[in-house]
Every structure is written in C-alpha cells, then in structure tokens.
Amino acid sequence: MLEAFDAGLPVVASTADGCRELIEEYGGDLFPIGDVAALATILRRHASSPRQRLARDLTPHFIENVNRTIVEVYNKLIAKRRRCLVEQGSMAANI
C-alpha cells in the first residue's frame, strides 16, 4: 500500500487491520472483507473516472524514521529501567 501511495495511485483495500488505518490517514477506498460486490463497485468507479495522482507525505513511514522511532522507544525504556534499578539499590542500602 505504501508503494501505491508513494506513486500517487488510488488505493483500494479491505477493512482489515492496518489497511483501514492507512486509508484513513492517506485516503483511498475501503470495502468490507469478503464483499466482492463492494470491491467490484469501487474498481468500476475507478476504471470509469481515473483520478489525478495524489502527492502524499509518507516520511513517517520511511525506514530511517521508523528505525529512529524504535530506537528512541527502546532508549526511553532502558533509561526508565536503569532509574528503577538505581532507586531499588538505594532503597536496599537504607535497610
């Protein structure tokens, strides 16, 4: 889906988890899982009236940004764990 968004193409997806959130964020059409008639209706609409390509800002999904976010989360968790261990150590020393 991200590749289609990046190419500016219209995106059609089922209401499966993950797909729905991306469509809500970047636009596109959703059809209920297993609803072939709804999918066919959407595809016919797209085929009969092609749209201009859309520019979307996908920078939050670039691998560098995703990796940076993951590292930041882990660093925060590690720092919090270290603080807890230091506090536990100082409590033990007071006993």
Q: Same domain for 44 and 67?
A: no
Q: What is the pLDDT at residue 77?
A: 95
What pLDDT is recorded for position 39?
97
Q: Could you tell me if 13 and 31 lie in one domain?
A: yes
Is there a single domain that holds both residue 70 and residue 43? no
Same domain membership, residue 44 and residue 8:
yes
pLDDT means over runs of 10, the chain (95 residues): 86 92 92 97 91 78 86 94 86 60
Instruction: Please tell me the predicted confidence (pLDDT) of residue 91.
Output: 64
Burial class (CB in 10 A: 0-12, 13-18, 19+), 21: exposed
Q: Which positions ≥6 away from 20 have C-beta within 8 Å?
A: 13, 30
- Concatenated DSSP letters for 50-82? PPPP-----GGGSHHHHHHHHHHHHHHHHHHHH
- Range of the structural domain that residue 95 is part of: 62-95
Tell me: do 51 and 75 sit in the same domain. no
The total number of structural domains that make up the chain? 2
Indicate if 1 and 33 belong to the same structural domain: yes
pLDDT at position 90, please? 67
- Looking at the fold, whether 52 and 69 belong to one and the same domain comes out as no
Pair 51, 71 in one domain: no
